[in-house]
A and B are shown apart, each in its own frame.
Chain A
Amino acid sequence: MRGRSTSRRHLLAATALVACSLPAAQARTIRGALPWSAGEAYPPPRLSAAGWLFFTEAEAAAVTAMANRLIPPDELGAGGAEAGCATFIDRQLAGSFGTSDWLYMQGPFPAGTPQQGLQEEHPPNRRYREALAAIAAHCREKMGGRLFHTLSSQEQDALLTAMEAGTSGIAGLRDKSFFELLLQNVMEGYFADPAYGGNREMVGWKLVGFPGARYDFREMLDRLDQPYTDPPVGLFGRPAWTRAAQ
């Protein structure tokens, strides 16, 4: 069954690519019955637990610190660092998001109007690598030989605020556009299913009161405008269940 689902996954992936680049993939002919076998399903990939897949240790430390300023730890719950936002971004950059495999990436790439949307020539993995290097150089050269994660939180906030406004003056960095990418990814990491490495202990969902992947809320139709009290559940259950099973 595993083998089958793997090969079907290939087939699905193939639709995203140049048709001729995957000789193994086969177009299918379907007749007579639904082409389906029991137990066939495609969960999100299980994460490998340890280490970084894309970031270097230094990059990971910087992104962890940035995530922790964008979403600071406070009395409302964990910050971006503890929530695993950097792990989330690392796994995303190592996959099809990082490479923009699904997007239209053929040139030319002239500047467009804002209404024409994303026209970046380089995919997120390269944008992160270059931006983190530029930020590291800036901290080293302009901020007393330090690293982003060794700046004080006030300094970190000031730098992020300047990047957001496009006034950071960091050499070799289109700061505004990188800030938008970073903010988007940190928020994704805080609120996406924990299966992707962020939102640990479902902190993001607890912050707002989102119950997650429960898939049946009919009972609440009898209790309009009343609090929902069951704890959140992710695609792979809840930490408490998994711990109990160990």
Chain B
Amino acid sequence: MTRRLPSTDVVVVGLGWTGSIMSLELARAGLNVVAIERGPWRDTAADFPPATSADELRYAVRQDLFLRPAQETLTFRNNISQNALPIRRWGSFLPGNGVGGAGVHWNGHTWRWHPWDFTHRSSTIERYGADFLPPDNMMQDWGITYDELEPFYDRFEYLCGIAGKAGNLRGVIQEGGNPFEGPRQREYPTPPMRLTQAPTMFEKAARELGWHPFPNPSANMSQAYTNSYGCRLAPCTYCGFCERFGCGNYSKASPQTCVLPALVRQSNFEARTECQVTKVNLSADGKRATGVTYRDTSGREWEQPAEMVLLCAYQLFNVRLLLLSGIGTPYDPRTGEGTVGRNYAYQITGGATGFFPGERHFNPFVASGSEGIVVDDFNDDNFDHTQVGFVGGSSVACIPTNGRPILNRPVPEGTLRWGSAWKRATHENYNRTASVGIQGSVMPYRGAYLDLDPTYKDPLGLPLLRLTFDFQENERKLRRFGVDRCIEAVRAMGADRVIRNEITGPYDIVPYQSTHTTGGAIMGADPKTSVVNKYCQSWDVPNVFMAGASLFPMNAGFNPTGTVGALAYWAVDAIRERYLKAPGPLVPA
């Protein structure tokens, strides 16, 4: 029996990065907000204080904070001719669970994407001609520009207190910043973090190579910071337990440090944890959402009626909820029709590990999630692509996030994996290695998409999401080119032995690459080829709004969350300033 609860103005599905920001902004606008989160409540003092959080086995290896696949996972195959099988243990990406979402255990590299990304299709055609686009691509402009989003990037950066150095202030290139970034209205809120050994060497080498190195924009704090909600962050201690861990020092921007303390004080806000939303309910004509249905941990089913539904459940689960709810038309890769699930993309990664001769103390354990040096010269359309023959590019970076020894103790190629020789090589090389890596853009293709699996179900009996994805030739070329740059860099830093890190076979779900999955519920200017309009509002059901990287029509050579946060502020601004005044479609279909 489903119990019906009193209606509320807004129901938010998922209380991670986007859910917490949008809940707070709408509660401050006077609306009654209920956020429903499938995982537990989490806070710094109880769940990851310094006394317990420095535990590699528990958090990095056994994956304590992430969504447990027993509760919900997806199935995976490389292409439609294969049989998709469940991801039984996470590998390639690590979805979050619980209050704070993946914002609890992210690394905190916080980027603005390039103006080019938002117009990547038309800009590529303009510069190189339509023949330059890769076969079977589904590239399409976002329907929004960098300039429109700039004020909202600013809001997210000032929410988080991002430590960085501007490269382009209102059109004027700044020494020491990223000369390729779009213009920004003001400096970063806090100065860059101090560098450790490997990035210090990389910066010098990159300059010698004629590149333009600059500090990685970091959500780990270079100094104490108080944001506009009155939430306070402390300086990072370089503990080396950041990505996959909660921060015990309040030094990493997260919903816990930046939003929740202010949000829970709103008397018109309420969070329900350990409640899994199973669908968005629709009116009989399917044109209006009437609320959501969810199950609590004792199996009871509840209906939460609401005037407006915000899907903030992370990229993958936003798409699953649309499919489970019957909102929009599922994408069919055979006909190319339908919108929900299309334009899934990922990031392509690789790099080089160098072994340095002589007495060396990289001390890799002295690290934060985001401290490091980046080069943007080979990303997106920052260089002439005529000769390289691919679209897009990658950032090249030296960001040594940790020296935790279960997962991080490189040895030179050819070393045995166990025994005395392994032991000696491990002893000799742990403190003598440094890596440089790429994060590459991935264009959308006809055969890369999300739908519901026909065989496998979650414990509630609902079909799992099915992922069909492989890297295409365009991205493989891009990676080869980027990894070559990493090798040049590591050699210029002085390494005498170098390992090339490049998985050359099909996309593999096992090794961790990044939790930067994108697309599936993309924004756009045309309801035939997008799920939401430029205000992140469903074309089909106008009182449903979406947040998260599911909105992205493609994936860039930078981490997603800067853009995810900016779009959340952008959407909430449209809701507050336009939608509430005249509820209905903000863009005529």
Contact = CB atoms under 8 A, between A and B. Distances in A.
Contact of B40 (A11, A69, A119, A212): A11
B238 A69 contact: no
Given A26-B298, A44-B52, A205-B405, A105 B273 contact: no
B488 interface: no
Contact of B196 (A17, A40, A120, A221): A221
A11 B274 contact: yes
A71 B418 contact: yes
Contacts of B507: 115
B430 interface: yes
A28 to B, nearest CB: 5
20 contacts: A15-B71, A16-B68, A19-B276, A19-B460, A23-B298, A26-B296, A27-B297, A28-B41, A28-B274, A32-B264, A34-B261, A35-B41, A103-B68, A106-B456, A113-B78, A113-B506, A115-B507, A118-B88, A217-B239, A224-B196
A105 B88 contact: yes
Interface residues of A, number: 89
Interface of A: 8, 11-12, 14-20, 22-23, 25-36, 38, 40-44, 69-72, 74, 76, 96-97, 101-106, 108, 110, 112-120, 157, 160, 164, 183, 186-188, 191-193, 195-196, 204-205, 207-218, 220-221, 224-228, 235
Contacts of B419: 69-70, 72, 157
B50 interface: yes
B86 A74 contact: no
B221 to A, nearest CB: 12
Interface in B180-239: 194-197, 200, 235, 237-239
B237 A42 contact: no
B55 A220 contact: no
Given A29-B270, A33-B265, A183 B417 contact: yes
Contact of B248 (A22, A112, A215): A215
A121 to B, nearest CB: 10
A38 to B, nearest CB: 8
B82 A216 contact: no
The SS class assigned to the A binding surface is loop
B77 A118 contact: no
Contacts of A12: 40
B155 interface: no
Contact of A208 (B241, B296, B297, B405): B405
A41 B85 contact: no
B46 A76 contact: no
A136 B564 CA distance: 55
A15 B49 contact: no
Given A15-B38, A215-B249, A228-B366, 9 more contacts: A18-B70, A18-B459, A26-B274, A27-B298, A33-B265, A104-B456, A188-B57, A211-B365, A218-B235
